[in-house]
Amino acid sequence: MSAHISIENLCKSFNGAPVLRNVNLEVKASELIVIIGPSGCGKSTLLRCMNGLELFDSGKICMGSITLERHEGSKTGDLNSRLRSLREEVGMVFQSFNLFPHLTLIQNVTKAPVVVKGMDRKTAEEKAKELLDKVGLGDRIDYYPSQLSGGQQQRGAIARALMMSPRVMLYDEPTSALDPSLVNEVLQIMRKLDEDGLTQIVVTHEMRFARDAADRIIFLSEGEVVEDAGPERFFTSPKDPRAREFIRSYL
């Protein structure tokens, strides 16, 4: 699939309460998009819709060659197979690192490709070592999560997601659970992957990262995209008053 993402008129509600209202979003291959907005505005729900963890009420999501529409009427088997393809193409990293505590780093990273995708163990281990090297953990492959710092665990979680060779990576507040001194080492990995040309969508409150690293910033307010701008414009002259207020409260 090409990495082009397009979201059209996406609507999602929980128990009748709208959480995403007509979200439209286009992402070009290799872009780094930062999504910001106040707590509860729908950021996590949007990411979860994009990797099929959450079904939606109306609208359309195209992630490369995979299209998801409101599922009503389509055969469940067909939907499931599209969701499976989608999850292979889209990697996701959460705030909590979710590494298995009883597995070493390399076991954590190789588990899904070997068990789910039937990747040969030796190939998986070679690829895992390469990726763990890339995220600066080449000398920690036999450590258990409890022996690693939060930043190291999160970098391990990124390596784990990269094992499936995703075309797109989604991050939901990847540094929010980290000690401030460890935030940068994780942001650094996303910058590096950006240089490699990976398409990435990052929900974060790290405003300096948003300003320096993002190609575009999306500001969500109560489930609506109210600002979609380059970082320069977003931080100097946002047109929506809610975005202005949010930026003021952060800077």
Shorter beta-carbon distance to ligand ADP: residue 37 or 91: 37
Q: Which does 41 bind (CB under 5 to 8 A by kind): ligand ADP, Mg ion, none?
A: ligand ADP
Sheet containing strand 58-63, strands side by side: 17-27, 5-14, 58-63, 66-69
Q: How far is the CB of 211 from ligand ADP (least distance, A)?
A: 20
Dig out the tokens for 213 from the structure.
Answer: 């690293």
Shorter beta-carbon distance to Mg ion: residue 44 or 175: 44
User: Per CB under 6 A, does 14 bind ligand ADP?
Assistant: yes
Shorter beta-carbon distance to ligand ADP: residue 55 or 114: 55
Q: Which does 39 bind (CB under 5 to 8 A by kind): Mg ion, ligand ADP, none?
A: ligand ADP
Q: How far is the CB of 198 from ligand ADP (least distance, A)?
A: 23
The one-letter amino acid at 183 = V
**Residues in region 23-62 near ligand ADP by CB under 6 A:** 37, 39-45
User: Per CB under 5 A, does 44 bind Mg ion?
Assistant: yes
Shorter beta-carbon distance to ligand ADP: residue 45 or 110: 45
* CA distance linking residue 222 with residue 164, whole number of Å: 33
The residue range among 44-52, 98-106, 177-185, 226-234 that interacts with Mg ion, by the rule CB under 5 A, is 44-52
Shorter beta-carbon distance to ligand ADP: residue 3 or 202: 202
Which one among 5, 19, 32, 63 touches ligand ADP, defined by CB under 6 A?
19
The one-letter amino acid at 191 = R
Shorter beta-carbon distance to Mg ion: residue 12 or 43: 43
Q: How far is the CB of 183 from Mg ion (least distance, A)?
A: 17
Total binding residues for Mg ion by CB under 5 A? 2
Give the end-to-end CA distance of the chain in Å, rounded to a whole number: 39
Total binding residues for ligand ADP by CB under 6 A? 10
Q: Which residues bind Mg ion (CB under 5 A)?
A: 43-44
Q: Which residues bind ligand ADP (CB under 6 A)?
A: 14, 19, 37, 39-45
